[in-house]
Amino acid sequence: MNILIYSYIFMLGLIFGSFFNVVGIRIPNKESLLGRSHCPSCNRQLGAVELIPVIGYLILKGKCKECKHPISIKYPLIELITGLLFLVSFVFLRENMVEYILIVVFISLLVIITVSDLYYQIIPDIILLVFFHQSRMQKLAIIKIALKALMLTNSIGDIDTEQWIQHHHIMMLMVWTM
């Protein structure tokens, strides 16, 4: 059961890492976060399989299918690092979901500013503002949600994986939409 939860957390980290690549690269250019990723050289939109974190890079062997322009190793590395950070902090903090969620928010901030720093040598103020402006109100809200989720999981007794994953997912979504 542990392996199932750990793989789930790791995959969630990979997906978030892929999103943080997009945020860190597009925000400094004032680009929308909504458009689909494309090759920076020939502008070809990436297909669904190519968008899968890490796997997409391996399938393409690090080159654009169309123009053979090399794809930076930074993309899969950022995805892997995020996946590992999500997983390692979960292994250490799984007994304390409040701290885990706060750490995940903090890791997210660090990864996004690392991406911007790697690509443009800048740390966009807007990213810091979004995180810190919200952190005061968010802290209270996150703690409340996490406590509720903990109470629910405790009332079931032993942690039920399926329910736990559902709670976890809802919490992540709420943290990100707040």
Contact call for residue 105 and Zn ion (CB under 5 A): no
Stretch that binds Zn ion, among 19-27, 66-74, 122-130, 136-144 (CB under 5 A): 66-74
Per-residue mark of binding to Zn ion, 22-61 (x: CB under 5 A): -----------------x-xx-------------------
Q: Considering only residues 61, 63, 69, 169, which one is a binding residue for Zn ion as defined by CB under 5 A? A: 69
Q: What is the total count of residues that contact Zn ion (CB under 5 A)?
A: 7
Cβ within 8 Å of residue 107, ≥6 positions away = 82, 85, 86, 89
- Compute the least distance from the CB of residue 72 to Zn ion, in Å: 13
Instruction: Give the nearer residue to Zn ion in terms of CB position, either 50 or 97.
Output: 50
Q: Which two tokens stand for residue 124?
A: 């966009």
Q: Which residues of 110-127 are buried (b: 16+ CB within 10 A; e: fewer)?
A: ebbbbbbeeeeeeebeeb
For the chain, how big is the Rg over CA atoms in Å?
A: 18
- Site residues for Zn ion, 110-149, by CB under 5 A, read none
CB 36 within 8 A of CB 101: no
- Which residues face 63 on adjacent strands? 70
The string of DSSP codes covering 55-111 is HHHHHTTTB-TTT-PBPPTHHHHHHHHHHHHHHHHHHHHTT-HHHHHHHHHHHHHHH
Give CA–CA dist 86/11, Å, rounded.
Answer: 9
Q: Does 63 bind Zn ion (CB under 5 A)?
A: no
* Choice from 49, 58, 59, 67 touching Zn ion (CB under 5 A): 67
CB of 47 to Zn ion, least distance (A): 12
Based on the shown chain and the rule CB under 5 A, indicate whether residue 64 belongs to the binding site for Zn ion: yes
> Based on CB atoms, which residue is closest to Zn ion, 71 or 78?
71
Q: How far is the CB of 122 from Zn ion (least distance, A)?
A: 26
The site for Zn ion (CB under 5 A) is made up of 39, 41-42, 64, 66-67, 69
